[in-house]
Amino acid sequence: MKSIVVANWKMNPPTMREAKKLFDATRKAAESAKNVTLIVAPPAIFLRDLRARYKGKRVAFALQQASAEGSGAYTGDISLLQAKDAGAQYVIVGHSEQRAKGETNEAAGKVVAAALVCGMTPILCVGERERSQNGEHFSFVKEQLRAAFADVEPSKVTKVLVAYEPVWAIGGEKTMSPRDMHEMTIFIRKTLVGMSSGGGSTSGGKGYEAGMNVKILYGGATTESNALPMLQESGAQGFIVGHVSIDAFRFAALISSLS
């Protein structure tokens, strides 16, 4: 099975020249790893040019965030249709950095639903800011999932990628333990099964199956040295990678480790 790697460049690099250089290195890494599906999420201002210069099929593109609105008086926002026209097939939704700026669970849910309507794949980010001994973080993640999938038809549940990112691990060099991540992948699937097979759905057994087959990614301090053990032991199917994705040498080593 192919693993999925999302390279989230965040607000990097500062120039188009550097973005092209980083993308060329990223593309080379992808082309040498046949069992990795690579999705690059550059700053939106670089997206169209990078997509135009790439003729291959080994790399797909994502927008880092988008509005659920189709068009109108939303200064500074980017619509999903605009992103799709620029070459994006995916959109990151509910990233912890956007949630920290005020994006609500319900707002993220609207983007998930709108993305599916226009034929894009949402990469839904969920995760707690801190862990507690009494397991409150599970309730926190469950509420994020419930709101995000509120308007998703049971038949489209598997069209959403779920990226679990424990906020307390982001930006560091040490992941959570693969065992704890395995517990979370099971919890996420059970939560989705409960939602998609219930809630008045007429899909019967299809809802249950859909929830079990959702692809789950891990995000939070993923590096070239810890990616493979996480992939092998956590039940996750890939990663959303932040700071390592803008270091061409380290990112190539990470991709290589998965091969």
Residue type, 168: W
Q: Check if the beta carbon of residue 159 is closer than 8 Å to that of residue 118.
A: no
| 86-114 burial: b if 16+ Cβ within 10 Å, else e | bbbebbbbbbbbbbeeebebebbbbbbbb
Question: Is the Cβ–Cβ distance between 93 and 159 less than 8 Å?
Answer: no
Distance CA 242, CA 251 (A): 10
Residue 69 bears catalytic tag: no
The Cα 63–Cα 95 span in angstroms is 12
95 is catalytic: yes
List the helix and strand counts (H, then E) for the chain: 10, 8
Closest CA to 189 of 227, 160, 166, 169: 160
- Cβ density class 232-250: b for 16+ within 10 Å, e for less: eebbbbbbbbbbbbbebeb
Return phi, psi of residue 123, to 5°.
Answer: -105, 95
Catalytic residue (choose from 95, 97, 128, 243): 95
Among the listed residues 97, 128, 165, 224, the single catalytic one is 165
Which residues carry out catalysis?
Answer: 95, 165
